[in-house]
Amino acid sequence: MSVVPERMLSVEEALERVLSLVRPLPLEEAPILEALDRVLGEDIVADIDIPPFQNSAMDGYAVRSEDVREASPASPVRLRVIGNLAAGQAPDMEVLPGTAVRIMTGAPIPPGADAVVRFEDTDEGRTLEGNLHAGVHTGEVLIMRPAAPHENVRDAGEDVRRGERVLAAGTVLRPAEVGLLASLGHPTVRVHRRPRVAILATGDELVDITEPLGPGKIRNSNEYSNAALVLKYGGVPVRLGIARDSVADLTAKIQAGLAQQVDLFITSAGVSVGDYDVVKDVLHQMGRIHFWQVCMKPGKPLAVGLIDGVPLIGLPGNPVSSMISFEQFVRPAMRVMQGRRTWRRQRIQVVVDEDIKNTSGRRHFIRAVVTRMGEQYYARTTGDQGSGILTSMVKANALLIIPETQRLVRKGELVDAEMLDWPEVE
C-alpha cells in the first residue's frame, strides 16, 4: 500500500496537531518525594502556623528586654540563670525580672522573656563555669549588650499563617515545595500522573546493545535515547524492544505495548518516503495515523495519530532526526500530559561564528555550542550536521533555528537559538 503524503506542514502546524491529541492526565496521590518535578493538582491550605510556636532564632539567653536596656561591655547586667531550653523542650519556667534562661535555636521562648541575647554578647564563662555540664543552672550570666524587644525571636506563623493558601494547583513542585509540604505534615499530595510512554524500535538492521554486530547491522540506539528523553521529561518509559520489518512482528509488538496501559506510543523509523512500507502499513491498519512531511531538517517524516485511542508519534529513524523530532513534538506533548503550562523552549539571539548555509528550504535545526561572553551569546556549530551524526547532539547545548526561507546566515549575524538545557517557559 502506498500512502500519499499530505502537503508539508510547518513545525508549528505539526505541533498544534500533535498537542490536539493530548490533554493533562488524571491526578493521583503520590508520596511527596515522588511528586518532585510534577504538577500539583490541588490547592494546599495550611492548617497550622509555621513555625507553630514563638521560638529563638539564636543560641543565647532569653531575657526581658527591659532588664538589659542599659547593658554594655563596661557595665554588664547580671542575671540569674533559672534554666536551660534545648530545641524540642517545652518551657516549665517563667522569666521574672532579673532572671534569664539559657536557650538554643528553635527552642520555645519561655513566658516572661521577649528577647534573646546571643552568646557572643554575654559572658557566661566566669559565673557558669562548672555547672553547665551538670545541667544545673543556678549561676549567673553577664549581659554585655541591650536587646530590643523581640530581638532574635521568631513568631508563630511568621513563615506561614494557618488558613493561608501556600501552594496553588498548577505549581511545579521543586525541592522547596516538597519541604513546605513536609512542614505542613503532608506525606502525600495530589499530582498529575506521569505519562507511560511505549517505545518501539523498528528495523531489520537493528541489534540490541548487548548483541554482537553482524554484517550490515547497527545497534538500536534510538530506543535508549528515546527512553532517556522520556525519563528526562518526567515520563515512564515502557520499552518494547525491536520489531522486525514484518507485519506479524510489528502487529504483535504494538499490541503488546497497547496492553501495558500506555498514555503515549512512540515508534522509531520506517516512516520516511523511501522506506519499505511495512511500518506504515501496519500503523495505517491498526490506527488513524497520518504520515506527514514536516518542513524541518532533520526530521522531515513524522507519523501522528491515534492507535486504540492512544496518541502515537512515529519518529524518523536517523538518530539525530529522532532526537530533534522528540524535542519538537514529543517533549511538549509529554509536558502537556503532565499538566505543565511551561513547555516552550527559551529562545535567545546568538551571534554565529561562521557562515551557515540552508539550501533545504526547510527550517534547519543546527546543533551548536552556545557560550556567553559579556552580554552577548555566541554560537559555533558542532561540525557535520548529518542526521546520523549522533555526536552532534552529544556536543550541542542548543539548536540554532535557520528559517525556511533563509539560504545563508553570515558569520557575525544573529539567529535564534533554542537552549536545550534551560528550563522551559510558558
Question: Which residues in this chain contact ligand AMP in the complex, by CB under 6 A?
Answer: 201, 203, 205-206, 218, 220-223, 268-270, 272, 275, 316-319
Q: How far is the CB of 201 from ligand AMP (least distance, A)?
A: 4
H-helix or E-strand spanning residue 170:
none
Nearer to Mg ion among residue 244 and residue 395 (C-beta): 244
Binding partner of residue 65 among Mg ion, ligand AMP, none, CB under 5 to 8 Å per kind? none
Q: How far is the CB of 240 from ligand AMP (least distance, A)?
A: 12
Binding partner of residue 358 among ligand AMP, Mg ion, none, CB under 5 to 8 Å per kind? none
Burial class for 239, CB neighbours closer than 10 Å (0-12, 13-18, 19+): middle
Residue that is written with C-alpha cell 520489531 in the block = 243
Please give the grid coordinates belonging to residue 253.
509488538
Nearer to ligand AMP among residue 33 and residue 252 (C-beta): 252
Q: How far is the CB of 348 from ligand AMP (least distance, A)?
A: 31
Binding partner of residue 319 among Mg ion, ligand AMP, none, CB under 5 to 8 Å per kind? ligand AMP
H-helix or E-strand spanning residue 250:
helix 247-258
Burial class for 150, CB neighbours closer than 10 Å (0-12, 13-18, 19+): middle
> Contact 304/319 with Cβ under 8 angstroms?
no
Binding partner of residue 332 among Mg ion, ligand AMP, none, CB under 5 to 8 Å per kind? none
Binding partner of residue 222 among Mg ion, ligand AMP, none, CB under 5 to 8 Å per kind? ligand AMP
Burial class for 123, CB neighbours closer than 10 Å (0-12, 13-18, 19+): middle
Nearer to Mg ion among residue 203 and residue 234 (C-beta): 203
Q: How far is the CB of 303 from Mg ion (least distance, A)?
A: 13
> Contact 343/332 with Cβ under 8 angstroms?
yes
Report the relative pairing of strands 60-63 and 77-85 from DSSP bridges: unpaired
Binding partner of residue 353 among ligand AMP, Mg ion, none, CB under 5 to 8 Å per kind? none
- State the residues that interact with Mg ion by CB under 5 A: 203, 269-270
Q: How far is the CB of 306 from ligand AMP (least distance, A)?
A: 21
Q: How far is the CB of 377 from ligand AMP (least distance, A)?
A: 32
Closest residue to ligand AMP in the complex (CB): 317
Nearer to ligand AMP among residue 205 and residue 281 (C-beta): 205
Binding partner of residue 201 among Mg ion, ligand AMP, none, CB under 5 to 8 Å per kind? ligand AMP
Binding partner of residue 86 among Mg ion, ligand AMP, none, CB under 5 to 8 Å per kind? none
DSSP 375: T
* String of DSSP letters for 266-300: EEES--STTS-THHHHHHHHHSEEEEEEBSEES--
396: amino acid identity, one letter: A
Nearer to Mg ion among residue 237 and residue 270 (C-beta): 270
Nearer to Mg ion among residue 48 and residue 286 (C-beta): 286
Nearer to ligand AMP among residue 40 and residue 323 (C-beta): 323
Q: How far is the CB of 289 from ligand AMP (least distance, A)?
A: 15
Burial class for 20, CB neighbours closer than 10 Å (0-12, 13-18, 19+): exposed
Whole-number Å distance between alpha carbons of 239 and 43: 35
Nearer to ligand AMP among residue 61 and residue 365 (C-beta): 365
Binding partner of residue 268 among Mg ion, ligand AMP, none, CB under 5 to 8 Å per kind? ligand AMP
Q: How far is the CB of 341 from ligand AMP (least distance, A)?
A: 32
Nearer to Mg ion among residue 272 and residue 381 (C-beta): 272
Whole-number Å distance between alpha carbons of 369 and 225: 20
Packing angle, helices 278-286 and 247-258, rounded to 10:
40
Cβ burial 283-319 (10 Å sphere, 16+ → b, else e): bbebbebbbbbbbbbbbbbbbbbebeebbbbbbbbbb
Q: How far is the CB of 19 from ligand AMP (least distance, A)?
A: 24
Binding partner of residue 425 among ligand AMP, Mg ion, none, CB under 5 to 8 Å per kind? none
Please give the grid coordinates belonging to residue 399.
539548536
Nearer to ligand AMP among residue 146 and residue 316 (C-beta): 316
* String of DSSP letters for 339-368: T-S--BPPEEEEEESS-EE--SSSEEEEEE
